[in-house]
Amino acid sequence: MTGDRNSRSMQNGLWTIRVYNRLSAAGRRSSDLEQGTDLTEAIRWAGQAAVCGTDANNIVQAGLRSIIRSSGDIGITNPFSSARDGVMPDQTRVLLCCMQDGEKTWHVCLKLYPLSAAGQAALHTHARLLRSLKDVVSVPDVIKVLPERDLFGFPALVTTACGQPLDTAMTHASGDLQKRIITRVAEVVSALHAFEPCDSGMECPYDPDSVRNQWQEDVVWYREHAIQAGRYANVVLRGAAVLADCLEVPSVGAFLHRDLTPYNILASGSSIILIDWDHAGFSAPQEDVGKTLIGLLSMLSIPRSVRLQLALRFLDIYSHLRSLSKAELFSQSLPFALDTLLDWVVGGKNAPQEELSWAMEQLLRNDLL
């Protein structure tokens, strides 16, 4: 589970946090980076980088221009200072800019890494992972890997991806297109779970016992903090009681994304791209399934009845592709879904608590079966 309460998601020994500054061309100032180094040199680099053809160059250049214009002279002298906001030195920082190119929406992502050996290792691991996944699932294009600090002051990874976040894309899609998008999501997630990342540098063997122990630790935390959910405290306690009884953990692991929210699935037509691989690693495939179901049920841009049907369709198609019993798949995915959803309800994250509580009711009533 990834929770803001202690930012404890750790991958390959590197603690990570995603700080998304969605900067528009009109510009708004970011409070997450301190004053310091002028970033205008990025314009010069973007203009002369010969990568992926002229069109991609233009997109990257425009994206970096937008980031720089909207953040003014904000630099990156010390974005990893542990003295500010409780930020740990080994966390990554991300600037994400959305650009329009005709009818397409491009995301230019500039991710900064610590100067430590762990930061350098994470940079190369993330870049290698994206490249190794390229032939398996649709992932962002790696535009540039910058292990030196000369350009941005810190090691950096620049990537691009085309599409709109899933919930936004679903708002404007016809019923038929919505079904095709969800079918594609299920196909991509299924393909990912069959992937063996031999060259990714990821070494995180799956340990079912640690998953079970994590659930039990989380149950204690949810019960202690249920009051933070206000009038939905009883829903939290009910969900925690169900999670406490989940002692059976899938024995087979696979390589997972582990953060499949609608924000991390970009759609363009019926094509999709999975972004934000910070939490990728080995776990039970049911973790991705459970989190995907929660993401679909919490898409506020579409009616509840449609959300429920899309979640059901995802479950149907994924279980068929993996030759699994839908009932068994749902049962095994339920604790992963509950763990994520309880964290959101207690923390008031990602959607109004009323909508999250509704999503939990669908799970507890087995409405997806």
Per-residue pLDDT tens over the stretch 171-210: 989 999 999 999 999 999 999 999 987 655 566 678 999 9
Amino acid at 345: V
- Last-in-domain residue among 118, 140, 162: 162
Residue with tokens 């510009």: 27
Q: Calculate what percentage of the chain has a pLDDT beyond 70.
A: 69
Average pLDDT, integer, range 352-367: 90
Predicted confidence band at 285 (pLDDT cuts at 50, 70, 90)? very high
Greatest mean pLDDT among 38-52, 83-97, 107-121, 261-275 lies in 261-275
- Which of 180, 152, 150 has the alpha carbon at shortest distance from 166? 180
pLDDT at 274: 96
Tell me how crowded residue 190 is: count the other CB atoms within 10 A of its CB.
19
- Which of 282, 293, 360 has the alpha carbon at shortest distance from 333? 293
Query: Domain for residue 5, yes or no?
Result: no
Residues 190 and 308 both lie in one domain = yes
Greatest mean pLDDT among 68-82, 102-116, 121-135 lies in 121-135
- Domain encompassing residue 50: 10-162
Number of domains into which the chain is organized: 2
- CA angle 124/126/129 to nearest 5° reads 105
Residue 280: CA atoms inside 13 Å, Cβ hemisphere, count? 27
DSSP state of 152: T
Q: Is the pTM of this model over 0.85?
A: no
Residues 70 and 118 both lie in one domain = yes
Q: Calculate what percentage of the chain has a pLDDT beyond 90.
A: 49
Residues 134 and 282 both lie in one domain = no
Long-range contacts of 5-11 (CB under 8 A, 24+ apart): 5/221, 5/343, 5/347, 7/88, 7/91, 9/278, 9/279, 11/202, 11/204, 11/278, 11/279, 11/280, 11/281
Residues 140 and 176 both lie in one domain = no
- Residue-wise pLDDT for 316-339, tens only, equals 999 999 999 999 999 999 999 999
Residues 149 and 266 both lie in one domain = no
